[in-house]
Amino acid sequence: MNRSILLVVAIVVVSLASYGQATELEGEWVSMSERTRGITKIVITSESDGHVVEAWGKCHPSDCAWGWTALTRVGKSVEDQSFTSGYAIWEPGFASKYVLLSLDRRMLRVETINVFKDRSRRSSYRLVEYLRRAGEQTDQ
């Protein structure tokens, strides 16, 4: 076989193998603040057709489950397969929730933009929070 063909085959095999591997974002993440008014927990998992994310928001007396939605992986370039950030969209009816997730040291940076659609006259708003891996303590 020609060396260039072998090189192309090797690159494709490595790329496909890295695409299916566990990512740094996968796992259970919990709020670092007991007083949060935003997201209290996020779970990111890999499925056969991509990644999914489930989130819970602060409600009373118990947290509200937002449900599962697709997580779109975002790299630093078209070649980047590291998956250190991504975004997800929830549409609960009364609002659209656009959530950008990214790693910041050992924490998960969560930026949520809430756009209300229910004629309540509430202002759309943006919230940035940090979550830690469940079971881990942070230095901050």
The answer, as to whether pTM is greater than 0.85, is no
DSSP character string of 93-115: SSEEEEEEEEEETTEEEEEEEEE
Interior/surface letters 51-64, b for 16+ CB within 10 angstroms, e for the rest = bebbbbbbeeeebe
Map out the domains of the chain with their CATH numbers: 24-133 (2.40.128)
pLDDT of residue 89: 97
pLDDT of residue 140: 53
pLDDT of residue 139: 60
pLDDT of residue 6: 42
d(CA 130, CA 65): 19
CB 44 within 8 A of CB 51: yes
Residue numbers of the chain with a pLDDT score lower than 50? 4-22
Q: Decide the pairing of beta strands 95-104 and 107-116.
A: antiparallel
pLDDT of residue 135: 86
pLDDT of residue 2: 53
Tens digits of residue pLDDT in 52-69: 999 999 988 899 999 999
